[in-house]
Amino acid sequence: MFRHEFRHHPCRHCSDEQCRSQMKEKFRRLHELHAQRHHGQFLRHYRYFRYFRPGAALFSLVILYLLFSWVGFKGVGIFFAALIVAKEALQFFFLLRLEKRVFKPVESLKRGLDEVADGNYDVKVEYDKPNDLGFLIAAFNAMTAKLSAAEKMQAEYEENRKALIANISHDLKTPLAAIQGYVEALLEGAPAQAGNEARYLQTIHHNIVYVNKLIDDLFLFAKLDMQKLEFVFEAVPVRAFMGDLMEEYKFDFAERGVGFEYRDELADDCRLKLDGKRIHQALNNILGNAVQHGPETGLAIKARLYRQEGFVCVAIADNGPGIPADKLPFIFDRFYRVAGERPKDLNSGLGLAIARELVAAHGGRITVASARDEGSRFTVMLPIACDGGGEVGE
């Protein structure tokens, strides 16, 4: 080994920042020099070791030959010959074991590190011996597995980002094109002659409302996705909370000609730790989805409140067209719309995705059951904080 001597002299003619920069540069050069001199040192020693073994065996044979030449086949010569042969046998097995348990695994680890440096994170080094080197290789394999998972997650995130941009562009293009067309028609004075000015303005207003809702949904979903949406959790008696909420929905649906029925099947009251505003949003999105895709007339929605093990469940069933079985796994995806269906109104395609994220933030989940032409049933499951008027656990 060699020693690097480094003396630091106070910088009399430069600033502190320049001095630090010069010191970093000198240390970097020393590190590069050290790396150049010691790069591949282990592999060179391994090659020397492999070349030395046959040379050492040949040297031992020469010693045996000289021993028998000088001493002959006497007892002393045989004794020393046996010692040399035993030593060579032990050395052979020791070096063979050393090569198998140390040198070859380290060489495999070196190749694995080179693969990682080249960007291949799927590499794995095989080694099953329970020693320190085995723990090191196990840690290396765990690191590459995490790097591979992170790379796949990053690729998936990039694909989702591209799909999100494409979907946003598509969903904004349609209403903006309609607004532009009607505004141009108004500027040209065409509707004044045909008496369609009010209808044109109503269509423009309708598309502007849709664009604003799309932007609001995107903003909300982005905050949910980044876990930056603020929640105000409170211990809420579920019967009173759901009763008031369902009363509002009943009044609203009655004005719109939609049948609505609510049943409270809880045996005893219990408390939920929730943010009332966010749960209201989630239920709004589910009910709004039922109205959007339901029939023009005769739509009926039934809500049921009941308990299932450690959850309070709100089941929302409708008599709409239902969802095909092959589409069910995707209905909570962003911007997903069932092909062939024409909703009554423009929608962002984010409602169910937002509802799922809001419920998940409360420690709950949403399930769905549906069949074509038989309606759908969405069930919101929220964990119970405590029974009756007891204290709410953290």
- pLDDT exceeding 90 applies to what percent of the chain? 19
Distance CA 288, CA 243 (A): 19
| Mean pLDDT value across the chain | 76
pTM: 0.57
Read off the tokens for 207: 């598309």
More confident residue, 6 or 278: 278
pLDDT score of 27 more than 50? no
DSSP 91: H
DSSP 295: -
- In this prediction, residue 301 carries a pLDDT of 93
If pLDDT is split at 50, 70 and 90, which confidence band does 6 have?
A: very low
Read off the tokens for 36: 């150049």
- pLDDT exceeding 70 applies to what percent of the chain? 69
* Residue 118 φ then ψ, to 5°: -85, 0
Angle at 94 between CA 90 and CA 98, to 5 degrees: 170
- In this prediction, residue 4 carries a pLDDT of 42
| Poorest-pLDDT segment among 95-104, 144-153, 265-274, 284-293 | 95-104
CATH (residue range 156-225): 1.10.287.130
- In this prediction, residue 187 carries a pLDDT of 82
More confident residue, 128 or 289: 289
Distance CA 260, CA 299 (A): 9
Among 345, 311, 350, CA closest to 331: 350
Q: Which superfamily does CATH assign the domain made up of 234-387 to?
A: Histidine kinase-like ATPase, C-terminal domain (3.30.565.10)
State the span(s) of the chain assigned CATH 3.30.565.10.
234-387
The 10s digit of each residue's pLDDT in 180-235 is 888 888 888 766 566 678 888 888 888 888 888 888 877 887 787 777 888 889 99
The 10s digit of each residue's pLDDT in 8-25 is 444 444 445 555 555 555
State the span(s) of the chain assigned CATH 1.10.287.130.
156-225
If pLDDT is split at 50, 70 and 90, which confidence band does 2 have?
A: very low
If pLDDT is split at 50, 70 and 90, which confidence band does 303 have?
A: very high
- In this prediction, residue 128 carries a pLDDT of 72
If pLDDT is split at 50, 70 and 90, which confidence band does 311 have?
A: very high
Asked if 121 and 147 count as a contact pair (C-beta separation under 8 A), the reply is yes
The 10s digit of each residue's pLDDT in 60-100 is 666 666 666 666 555 555 666 666 666 667 766 766 676 67
Rounded to an integer, the average pLDDT of 298-314 is: 92
Read off the tokens for 367: 């399930």
More confident residue, 108 or 12: 108
pLDDT score of 343 more than 60? no
Read off the tokens for 231: 């929640």
| Count of H-run helices and E-run strands, the chain | 10, 7
What are the Cα distances from residue 93, in Å, to 44, 47, 52, 331? 22, 18, 15, 65
Among 105, 318, 354, CA closest to 222: 354
207: left (phi over 0), alpha (psi -120 to 50) or beta: alpha
